[in-house]
Amino acid sequence: MKPLSYIEKVIMAVSTPSHIRIAHARQIISLGHNPEPMTLILHEGTMAIYRNNDNLLIRYIRGAMIFGLNALIDVNEDVYLKAGENVRYEIIPTMNFFAIVERDNLWKEIAYIMMFSSKRLYSSYLTSVGLSTYELIKINLQDLMNEDEFVRLNISACDYIQEKTNLSRSRVMAILRELKVGGYIELSKGILGKINKLPYKF
């Protein structure tokens, strides 16, 4: 479960309201051009995190959330973010961020936020290595059903799966079509409405 109360407590301590920015849908936010590691605070809205080298979708995050919590390595050069809708966000130097965390003794809150983020990344790793095409599609359909409402209702199942796997679009669409015809899933204009029961093998 997302530790929302801890996230909001940390954001309240580190945020400077006058530094909050607005990004519109599909706007790209890159932190890699900054001379020092930066932490992004997502106050409101949904963002997608992509890997730079192949544009693979890593995951979606929804505000309130904090991205870039690492004082040991700079992950900003490896990824970029894209607004899924109009969002409110703030960028703060990571060292400044952790100075406030130290000052206000917010390490427990940070630990829970890190555990939540690590769990999601670990889950992504387990479900993307050494799997067949159908297994990847099956897992990502289930992941899509567990996403926030904005993602589920605005991102087509094919786009979601393709961006997270880099599988052939024609192959993904063919399998989704057969799953729909078989009554295993319910799709309307590409949007996943319901998973009835996915076959073990396909």
Query: Does 119 share its domain with 153?
Result: no
Compute mean pLDDT per 10 residues along the chain, 202 residues long, and list them: 95 97 96 87 96 90 91 73 96 95 97 88 66 91 92 95 93 96 95 93 78
Query: Does 137 share its domain with 86?
Result: no
Model pLDDT, residue 74: 64
Specify the pairing of strand 79-83 against strand 57-62: unpaired
Is 201 a domain residue?
no
Query: Does 19 share its domain with 94?
Result: yes
145, 152 contact by CB (below 8 A): yes
pTM here is 0.85
Cα separation of 158 and 163, whole Å?
A: 8
Model pLDDT, residue 53: 87
Query: Does 34 share its domain with 98?
Result: yes
Query: Does 138 share its domain with 121?
Result: no
Provide the domain count of the chain.
Answer: 2
Model pLDDT, residue 72: 61
Model pLDDT, residue 19: 96
The sign one gets for the Cα dihedral 54, 57, 62, 68 is negative
In this structure, the number of other CB atoms found within 10 A of the CB of residue 87 comes to 24
Q: Which of 102, 126, 150 is the last residue of a domain?
A: 126
Give the contacts of 1 (CB within 8 A, at least 6 positions apart): none
Question: What are the Cα distances from residue 185, in Å, to 19, 55, 74, 181, 201?
Answer: 44, 27, 41, 8, 15
Please write down the HEC assignment for all residues of the chain.
CCCHHHHHHHHHHHCCHHHCEEECCCCEECCCCCCCCEEEEEEECEEEEEECCCCCEEEEEECCEEECCCCCCCCHHHEEEEECCCEEEEEEEHHHHHHHHHHCCCHHHHHHHHHHHHHHHHHHHHCCCCCCHHHHHHHHHHHHHCCCHHHHHHCCHHHHHHHHHCCCHHHHHHHHHHHHHCCCEEEECCEEEEECCCCCCC
Is 200 a domain residue?
no
Query: Does 64 share its domain with 137?
Result: no
Range of the domain at 178: 133-195
User: Which phi and psi (to 5°) does residue 17 adopt?
Assistant: -50, -35
Query: Does 13 share its domain with 35?
Result: yes
187, 180 contact by CB (below 8 A): yes
137, 158 contact by CB (below 8 A): no
